[in-house]
Every structure is written in C-alpha cells, then in structure tokens.
Amino acid sequence: MDLDALGACLMTPACVVTQTTSGLIVGMLLFLVAAGVTLIFGVLKIVNFAHGTFYMLGGYVAYTALGITDSYALAVLSGTLAMALFGVLFERVLISRVYGSNVLMQLLVCYAVVLIFDDVVKLVWGPEFHAMGMPPAFQVPPLFIAGGVVPPFYAVLIGIAAMIAIVLGLGLSMTRLGKTVRAAAINPQMVSALGVNTTALFAIVFAVGGGLAGLAGALAAPVRSLSPGMGFSILIESFIVTVIGGMGSIGGALVAALVIGMVRGFGTIGFPQFTDGLIYIVMIIILLLRPQGLFGRPT
C-alpha cells in the first residue's frame, strides 16, 4: 500500500491525466464486453460465460486480417463482423438447446466453448503471445494534455467506445428494434404472441453482443498482447461490471465499467500489489449496499 504516492499523483495534473486515460481505456474496453453480457442476460436470462472467447477471437481475427489486408480499419471491421456471425452460430447451434434448463447446464455449455476455443486458438495461432503493434496511422507523437501523455490511439479508442455507448443507448430507447428488444426482456412470450419473430430477435441480440466483444478484442489488440486464455480475465471483470451495474442495464454497465477502470487506473499507484483485490472489495461493498446492482431493478 502506498497512499503517499496516490496522494502525490492526485495532486499532479500530469499524473491524473495519464492514469485517467489508462483507466478510461480499461473501462471502455470493459464496457464493450460487458454491454454484450448484460444485453444477452437482460433479454435471454443467459449468463454468457463464453463472452470472453468472443473477445479473444475478435482480437485474433483482427490480427490475421491485418496481416492480409494491411488495413487496421478493415481488421477491426472483420473482427467485429466475424464475432457477430460467431455469436449467431453459438446461439443457434448450442445455446438455443439449453434455454430454460438449469443455469449450471448453460454454464457447462459455455465453459465447454471456452475450453475448446482456447485450444483452437493454440492450434491455429500457436500458444505464444502475439503483439499486433500500433497501426501505422497512429505511430505519431502522443498528445500532451496538462503534461500527461495520451497516445492518439487511446483517444480514438475511447472515442469509438463512447460512440458505441451512445448508439447502443439511443438504439435501444428510440428505434423499433430497440423497443422490441426491451419488450422481449420483460415478456418474451407476449412479444412472440404479438407476431415478432423472437427466434430471430434472440439471434440478433447474440450478434450484437458478439460483435461488440469482437470489436473490443480488435481494438484491444494493438494495446494488449494476444494470447490464448486472454478471454478469461476480461470475462471475470466484465461480469463484475455487469453485476455492479445491475444485470440487464446498459447504462449501469457503462457507469460500472468506468468505476472499475478508474479503480484500476489509480489503484495501480496506491495499491500496486492489490489492484485486483481492490476491485473485488468494490464489488462486494456495492452489492451489500444495493443487492440488485447500481441500476438494476429490485426483484
């Protein structure tokens, strides 16, 4: 524990900017993953334990696509679309068979997918770490804000994630599809009785969730290294975000992801050995004060 360092950091604008930026990066990537988890849970009441796998595969697909096309934009696009497709297949082939069965049965199916694809990644891309490298367009001098260093790629990443948050929020509240999804979250039988093809709707929800995770993986690839099993750690954190925000609430996921991001950003200064522990403590405290999460509906 090093509270002096934390205090000193909070007093210097440069340190605050740097740590806030790194916190925002963590938070925004987490939000993209957790938004899918919370959306899928909200509509289908399925806790998708395979969501980290989408994130990992998104990163790897983008890595390969970059090698082929040499364009980072195309790489991100292909990672996103591939995972949207993967999400649909996953839902149709596997998850649709365990709707309504025991939670643990769903967990089992998801975890099987996690195990299988961790090894598939090892088979295809090898067990070693891969570094994607910063795309050439972003290999420019960093921005300086109040003396803090902000690489331009970080700014773009945060911007894209923020834009997704707005589009997702507006899409769910304003569009017809969004309203249908929200209605299905409350009463799927009624929505189905009113003539909506809920089978297609569920597949769309998985496509959106998978696509967001794939996007997060592709965006994270230049900043983090790729390795089999990288989905595991982000999965746990995105669950924490989902639970803190209230399961099923997109806004809650955004707030919670930012909270966790900031705890990570500044926790590394004050509690370098215990940053993970800090996050679990935050989660436990929030769940004790609000058992349904920050923005969850009380059951």
Binding residues for other proteins, per CB under 8 A? 47, 94, 97-98, 101-105, 107-109, 111-116, 118-120, 122-123, 236, 239-240, 243, 247, 273-274, 276-277, 280-281, 283-284, 287-288, 291-293, 299
Minimum gap (Å) between residue 274 Cβ and other proteins: 5
Minimum gap (Å) between residue 262 Cβ and other proteins: 18
Minimum gap (Å) between residue 33 Cβ and other proteins: 15
Minimum gap (Å) between residue 86 Cβ and other proteins: 16
- Burial (CB count within 10 angstroms: exposed 0-12, middle 13-18, buried 19+), residue 100: exposed
Whose Cβ is closer to other proteins: residue 89's or residue 140's?
A: 89
Whose Cβ is closer to other proteins: residue 217's or residue 228's?
A: 228
Q: Are 270 and 2 in contact (CB under 8 A)?
A: yes
Q: Are 242 and 39 in contact (CB under 8 A)?
A: no
**Rounded distance between C-alpha atoms, residue 88 and residue 214, angstroms:** 13
Minimum gap (Å) between residue 263 Cβ and other proteins: 13
Cα 286 → chain centroid: 20
Q: Are 259 and 30 in contact (CB under 8 A)?
A: no
Whose Cβ is closer to other proteins: residue 122's or residue 130's?
A: 122
What is the distance between the terminal CA atoms of the chain, rounded to a whole angstrom?
38
Angle at which helices 13-44 and 152-174 pack, to 10 degrees?
30
Whose Cβ is closer to other proteins: residue 47's or residue 85's?
A: 47
